Structure 1
Amino acid sequence: MAVVPEVRVICNPASRGGSCNPGILRPLLEEFGPEWVVTGRPGDAAAAAREWEEGLLVVAGGDGTVNEAVNGLGMAGFPEGVTLAIIPAGTGNDLAQTLAIPPDPEEAVEILRKGRLRRLDAARIRLRSGGERFFVNVANGGAGARISEAVDKELKSRWGRLAYLRAALEVAQEFEPRELHLVLDGERRDLRAINVAVGNCRYAGGGWPAAPRANPEDGLLDLVVIEDVGLHELLELGPLALARTDYLEAEGVFFTRARDVLIEASPPDLEFTADGEPLSGEPAEFAVFHRALGVVVGLEYTPDVLP
């Protein structure tokens, strides 16, 4: 007889304005006999994940809730016996897109039943302030981080996923480029840039392919830098990305891969987010942990994307 793993569900009822309703999800997940943790304030999801040492950890919420849970697991050293599963309940659900997890709760639970497992890389950011943060999706610095901050709950409720495009058009006209000093696996590179994305997975900002070729199992981080191009060229990149066209060969885009990434900006006030969550203190160093985290993925998930 197969051993049924312990199951904990972390549910954030504030995701997408409250649609992550425990009353709706409980009947769908009843067969798993889970323990429920309903979050009430920031930090609850991280605490609930950090103490979970063995079994299935189901996160029902948006990218921010998933990021909290990943940080809890990272602080615990990514326990080998824990498998993460996602029921998307946010506005963007960017990580779920790479993992091929459908936004419909019933379909997401069906993916959970099928139990297709992969081990994905995780990434760590060490901050100049001395702290550190973990992520599995994308860290964005520059205009992308400013866009994430500009998209508040009211804008999301009125515009949905188009809220990110609306905010991008506004931010792009005002953002001042930064001088970036990069060290990529020991090699230095200097660029003048509008945005820098460090991707373990592919999407950010409600579906923008920030790192469209990222393979979350290859032990590398994808670095995508939008250089100091004009507004016209920048706006031309938008439709390419929204159409899911690979834009990494376009003029003004620098793309490479590395295991260790050091980023310094001048002036030193480059704002960053990790999985859409603001970072307190400019990042200094990114590192990857190869296949550190067991994750339930959809049937259409593929780790490698051809250019």
Structure 2
Amino acid sequence: MHSAINEVANGFFEEIALRNNSSNDKTTPASSTLKPINPEAMMGLVPSGSRNVLAKSLDLPDGIVECCQRFVNAKPLKIDVISALITTKAAAPPAAVNDYPKEVTTRIFLNAAEIGVGAEIIDRSKKIRDKIKSRFISTISGIIATLPTYESNLCEVSIDDGRQSLLSKITMGVVANGRYLGGGFKAAPQASVSDGLLDITILKNSGSLKMLDEFVNMKGDADYIHEQNDIFYMQAKKVSIKSKERDITVTLDGEPIGILPATFEVHQNALSVKL
């Protein structure tokens, strides 16, 4: 569902990505702007399926009838969207892992990007789901296949074009517009879809058992992440993340898109919706 919603959202805009022409790193953006194709266009959302994470972040009711009633009666409002400039790569033999060409793709999304172990679990789960048509089994299989062997990676994080930086081993990162991830994890408890800010949550170097403990606590206590040295949380308008070691998977609203490096930028009040 999130993939379809984001395709619709992408269709609302012409995106102009301006890269830093003075840099040899073509994945480094100088800035980006969004131009509405039709400023009068408006988006509505009727959730379906089993998770409805975006609907949860938007405080929509669970029922289709209730959502339709709200859409009919609601007044238009503006929400933020996030643009992402993400690295992609072509398939290559394992021996050439550092040699195959990498390109960038630009996407618009509404709820949250996941980076690292969370994105890897999603990616593996979707591959398993191609063979086993069960979300529950594929998700559990993805977790079992990922957590025991996943290694944190040294990453460089630049916030608001260098206003603040972080060099750290990262197990999982979240760049959010909404509060929730799949499974009900409130990874960004202060997030608002109309505050003009990204909510950045980074789980630093953690072993597999500690990861599970951190995930459980993130779900159970909205304020937990503010009290832990192992978790970095900040609000900003733009963030760039680059791996100093291995390739790290990136997903947007539950869809695997590419790898780091990636840059995320919020566009305030860019989308008209009825909620």
Please classify the TM superposition score into its range, dividing by the shorter chain length: 0.7 to 0.9
User: Displacement, 1:180?
Assistant: 1.1
Structure 1 segments unaligned to the other structure (5+ residues): 1-61, 298-307
After TM superposition, the score normalised by the length of structure 2 is 0.77
Task: State the alpha-carbon separation in 2 of the partners of residues 171 and 91 from structure 1.
Answer: 23
Shift in CA distance, 166/100, structure 1 to aligned 2, threshold 3 Å = farther
User: Displacement, 1:281?
Assistant: 4.8
Instruction: Give the RMSD, CA atoms, in angstroms.
Output: 2.4
Shift in CA distance, 292/100, structure 1 to aligned 2, threshold 3 Å = same
User: Displacement, 1:195?
Assistant: 0.5
Shift in CA distance, 250/145, structure 1 to aligned 2, threshold 3 Å = same
**Aligned equivalent of 2:97:** none
**Aligned equivalent of 2:187:** 210
Alignment counterpart, residue 218 of structure 2, candidates 227, 241, 259: 241
Aligned residues: 235
Deviations 1:87-135 (A, max 9, x none): 1123321110011222322122112122143211111111342321111
Shift in CA distance, 226/165, structure 1 to aligned 2, threshold 3 Å = farther
Q: Which has the higher contact order (CA 8 A, sep 6+)?
A: 2
Is the contact made by 1:138 and 1:210 (CA closer than 8 Å) also made in structure 2? no
Q: Give yes or no for the alignment of 1:145 onto 2:84.
A: no
Bigger fraction of residues in strand: 2
Structure 2 segments unaligned to the other structure (5+ residues): 16-34, 88-102
Task: State the alpha-carbon separation in 2 of the partners of residues 267 and 279 from structure 1.
Answer: 19
Shift in CA distance, 252/89, structure 1 to aligned 2, threshold 3 Å = same
Task: State the alpha-carbon separation in 2 of the partners of residues 256 and 139 from structure 1.
Answer: 15
Alignment counterpart, residue 178 of structure 1, candidates 129, 153, 159: 153
SS of residue in 2 equivalent to 1:101: coil
**Aligned equivalent of 1:124:** 83
Shift in CA distance, 251/167, structure 1 to aligned 2, threshold 3 Å = farther
Shift in CA distance, 74/168, structure 1 to aligned 2, threshold 3 Å = farther
Q: Give yes or no for the alignment of 1:199 onto 2:158.
A: no
The residue identity in structure 1 corresponding to 2:69 is E
**Taking every aligned residue pair, what percent have the same amino acid on both sides?**
26
Alignment counterpart, residue 134 of structure 1, candidates 98, 108, 121: 108
